[in-house]
Structure 1
Amino acid sequence: MASTELKKSPSAPRGRPRRTRRLSSRDRAVLGLMVGIPALVHIGLVWLPAFGSVLLSFTRWDGIGGFDTIEWAGFDNYRQIFTNYPPFWPALQHNVIWLVFFLLVPTTFGLFLAVQLDKNIKGSRLYQSAIYLPVMLSLAIVGFIWQLVYSPEQGLINNILGRTGQGDLIDWLGDPSLNLWAVLVAASWRHVGYIMILYLAGLKSVDPSLREAAAIDGASSRQAFWHVVFPALRPVNVVVLVVSVIDSLRAFDIVYVINKGTNGLELLSVLVTNNIVGEASRIGYGSALAVILLAISLSFIIPYVRSIFREQR
């Protein structure tokens, strides 16, 4: 009976360090360009203007003369904003209303649409594309579209309501008591598609065994969602919160297209623009408003970044 010999595959001796491939000078140059150029562009277009705005917020400058005409003002700009600048508080209130509305209406509706589309209903891909399509448009284009919808005489809404007579018109964008809510509906039309995609991606990543375990325990589909699936969407909820905060604070295009951010549509971003590039240019004053807007944004962004790093550790 012939005996067979088992040959052991040679293994690398223990303790010997693995050989690593060294980067050539060409590889280093390519990596340097790929990392260095975007970093320089980011620093030049984001960080340097941000630090410049912080410094200019403590000065008085009309932006016309040279740097030798800049006068140090200390905290006078901030003091005037909080005490002697009437448009500031309505603009801040409108931004808060914008944020609360975004968190309640388009976020809830986007979550509802994501849950429905996650059931793999017939034509779900078509519905996803149709709902996400407004996200591809800029807020300025959205403003032009909804100006036609809200037109007092020929608009879609007034014609549906039958309010097209001369004494029966509803001026959705001209009435200060209505225009903010009308613009919020228009902005939500674009925002809900983005929220839907975020939640839909989160639902696709939830482990199916969690739902199966909940069903075995006798939980209904609604109970399984709120007690099992929704807690698993915590990272997505944080992203949605940050996105909603950023979109509500940087809202500018749509209100500026409609009426340049006046007559009930005042926002902090509009005040920054009007003070920096307006007729009476006040660079220091506008920079102080921009710093306040930046501080509000960072109060939400920094906890988000910290939570991301904490999860990675």
Structure 2
Amino acid sequence: MSYLLEVKNLKKYFTVPNGLLHAVDDVSFSIKKGETLGIVGESGCGKSTLGRVILRLHEPTSGRILYEGMDITTFSKSEMIHMRRNMQIIFQDPYASLNPRFTVAQIIEEPLKIHKLYKTSGERKERIEELMEMVGLSKRVYNSYPHEFDGGRRQRIVIARALSINPQFIVCDEPVSALDVSVQAQILNLMMELQKKLGLTYIFISHDLSVVKHISDNVGVMYLGQLIEKASKKKIFKKPLHPYTNALLSSIPSINVDVKKERQILRGEIASPINPKQGCRFAKRCEFAADICFNSNPKYVEAEEDHFVACHRFEEAANDI
């Protein structure tokens, strides 16, 4: 089976005063071309760090990142500059990721200049106007500055900049979390339209399960640096295998007042990602935890077809859910 991106045993540790912070710890997954993998989890679980390590904005501690079969962890800085044409990122805060001294045209034009894609300013201008139309920006804002826009239109500028060099793969790092709900829907629909039109592949990072359900084909759940469950959107939302995934799903608000939904409250101490101890990191908060959970790290296995989970007692938990 051919994949656009394969991540194998990826790790990213940061040195802190008390030891090593395991921000991303032995994560593995694959994405087919044209698909969207949603990554969800609590704040601090390592999902944003994972996205940045995949693009080598942070250098991995160990592991492999295969893009179209090429291991980009071995690439030099000059080789990675060339790879930037294929791999881009959309950041969470559109205002912080835009140069306030640049106009819309200059922001979108900058990648074109860096990668020397067009010879003349006229060709670049034509490309800029094409991109602005593609993301729903009027030509009259060509020479406007970021502070003149609301969050939704700023994010459209960021998307246009990311698309300017025709990438195949984009890491979307909570791209709608800073926007109003009505604007979120507009940006999500735009991203889905662009994906269909241009054949883009996304990693969509979010803490909002409703957003992930709307845009993703497959969903991966992270907890304290580890990928603990991954499956198709349908399987994850219909039959989660990991107790933590079930707790996350129970937190989704429902607009149906006639359906009584039991909220699962997680109790217990949150394990430290700094020099983590042997055993499952969710064990102290898990109602299904047994001795093996505290003494042995659970293996990440394929429990069902294309449904992966890292849990010693997923069978007991799934039957009870």
- TM-score where L is the length of structure 1: 0.23
Higher relative contact order, chain-length normalized (CA < 8 Å, sep 6+): 1
Answer with 1 or 2: which has the greater Rg.
Answer: 1
Instruction: Name the structure with the higher helix share.
Output: 1
